[in-house]
């Protein structure tokens, strides 16, 4: 089963973006510590770049996959293997701690499912200090949340240089501590792959690196997509995770819509693009001038 196929089977609350949280976990047992048993692998795809590494051993271990569908700072983490708890629910919570963190980033929304025979969990995260990671949306309107999401991406090299591990706290089972190794070189390779994605999409990586704002969707289209659950999929009880990229010109016009996980059911693909592919506030360069760019988001359909 491919990674995108797994993603389409992992479902969560109906939302456009994952949120983060923070402080300290009251731990009971010491975490299980897993060493890597092979080097990082960089996987190139038409719409995605991924870092993949296995921890533990062939009999008992975990695989970590760090995906980017276009962002240089915010990633999608996919963890599969023996140490992930099983679940009969499509969604749950996970808490994450990187090496420099004082405590866990608590209760991140997570998608739960299976990857072949292995239990799997998927969640959003960034190699950023807590104060820079945009963890707390409490008190913000939906428009303010989207405006903040469009702010220039920040990369904190000092945080990445200090990061060589990640600890996962599941709702059940023992915490797991992954000794990832220094992340500076793997993340540099991942971002080189992402720049190649930009070029393949007809964009200038240098301009995207320095843009002061990404495109912001018209709130009407956001409200439309929240009510766009395809009838046929709803009646069949089908859920989906959809990663979507929309090209936006300097005038704020959407010029194309691409569903990045290409195995998604056509009704979901059509629902997302028909709702989102409309008007945007255009991206801005470092001087505040409109430029062509792209808008990328994840849409999660789930039957409550």
Quick one: DSSP state of residue 31? P
pLDDT tens, residue by residue, 259-291: 998 777 888 888 888 877 678 999 999 999 999
The mean-pLDDT minimum among 26-35, 52-61, 187-196 falls in: 26-35
The boundaries of the domain holding residue 76 are: 3-202
- pLDDT confidence of 21, banded at 50, 70, 90? very low
Q: Rounded to the nearest 5 degrees, what angle is found at the Cα of 112, between the Cα atoms of 7 and 71?
A: 45
Quick one: DSSP state of residue 224? H
Residue 242 near residue 257, CB atoms below 8 Å: no
Distance of alpha carbon 67 from alpha carbon 124, whole angstroms? 9
Same domain, 225 and 198: no
Residue 219 near residue 142, CB atoms below 8 Å: yes
Number of domains in the chain: 2
Indicate the residue among 182, 202, 222 that finishes a domain: 202
Quick one: DSSP state of residue 29? S
Q: What per-residue confidence (pLDDT) applies to 17? A: 37
Q: Which two tokens stand for residue 44?
A: 């190139």
**Top-ranked range on mean pLDDT: pick from 87-91, 208-212, 271-275:** 208-212
Q: Estimate to the nearest angstrom the gap between the alpha carbon of 31 and the chain centroid.
A: 25
Same domain, 156 and 18: yes
Same domain, 83 and 213: no
Same domain, 253 and 128: no
Same domain, 177 and 48: yes
Residue 183 near residue 164, CB atoms below 8 Å: yes
Q: Which two tokens stand for residue 55?
A: 């921890």
Same domain, 176 and 214: no
For 65, phi then psi, to 5°, come to -125, 125
The mean-pLDDT minimum among 53-57, 165-169, 200-204, 236-240 falls in: 236-240
Question: Is 60 exceeded by the pLDDT of residue 216?
Answer: yes
Q: What per-residue confidence (pLDDT) applies to 28? A: 57
Q: What per-residue confidence (pLDDT) applies to 144? A: 82
Q: What per-residue confidence (pLDDT) applies to 262? A: 74
Residue 257 near residue 246, CB atoms below 8 Å: yes
Q: What per-residue confidence (pLDDT) applies to 97? A: 97
Structure-model confidence comparison of residues 51 and 14, the more confident one: 51
State the average pLDDT for the chain.
Answer: 84
Q: What's the mean pLDDT in 108-118?
A: 84
Quick one: DSSP state of residue 86? P
Helices and strands counted in the chain (H then E): 8, 17
Q: What's the mean pLDDT in 70-95?
A: 91
- pLDDT confidence of 9, banded at 50, 70, 90? very low
What sign does the CA torsion over 175, 85, 12, 55 have?
Answer: positive
Q: What's the mean pLDDT in 232-255?
A: 85
Q: Which two tokens stand for residue 162?
A: 């200090």
Same domain, 181 and 229: no
């Amino acid at each position: 089963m491919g990674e995108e196929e797994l993603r389409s089977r992992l479902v969560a609350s109906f939302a456009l973006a994952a949120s983060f949280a923070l402080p300290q976990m009251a731990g009971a047992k010491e975490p299980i510590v897993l060493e890597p048993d092979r080097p990082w692998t960089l996987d190139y795809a038409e719409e995605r770049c991924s870092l993949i590494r296995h921890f533990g051993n062939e009999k008992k271990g975990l695989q970590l996959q760090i995906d980017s569908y276009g962002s240089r700072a915010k990633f999608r983490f996919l963890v599969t293997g023996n140490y992930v708890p099983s679940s009969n629910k499509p969604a749950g919570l996970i808490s994450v701690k990187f090496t420099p963190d004082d405590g866990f980033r608590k209760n991140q929304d997570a998608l739960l499912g299976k990857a072949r025979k292995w239990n799997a969990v998927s969640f959003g995260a960034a190699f950023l200090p807590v104060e820079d990671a945009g963890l707390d949306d409490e008190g913000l309107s939906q428009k303010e949340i989207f405006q903040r999401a469009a702010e220039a991406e920040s990369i904190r090299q000092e945080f990445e240089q200090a990061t060589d591990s990640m600890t996962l706290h599941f709702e059940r089972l023992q915490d797991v501590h992954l000794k990832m190794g220094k992340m500076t070189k793997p993340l540099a390779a991942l971002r080189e792959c992402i720049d190649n994605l930009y070029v393949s999409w007809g964009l200038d990586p240098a301009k995207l690196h320095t843009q002061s704002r990404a495109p912001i969707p018209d709130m009407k289209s956001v409200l439309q997509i929240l009510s766009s659950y395809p009838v046929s999929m709803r009646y069949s009880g089908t859920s989906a995770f959809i990663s979507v990229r929309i090209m936006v010109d300097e005038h704020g016009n959407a010029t194309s819509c691409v569903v990045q996980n290409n195995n998604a059911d056509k009704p979901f693909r059509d629902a997302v693009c028909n709702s989102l592919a409309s008007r945007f506030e255009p991206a801005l360069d470092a001087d505040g001038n409109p430029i062509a760019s792209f808008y990328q988001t994840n849409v999660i359909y789930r039957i409550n």
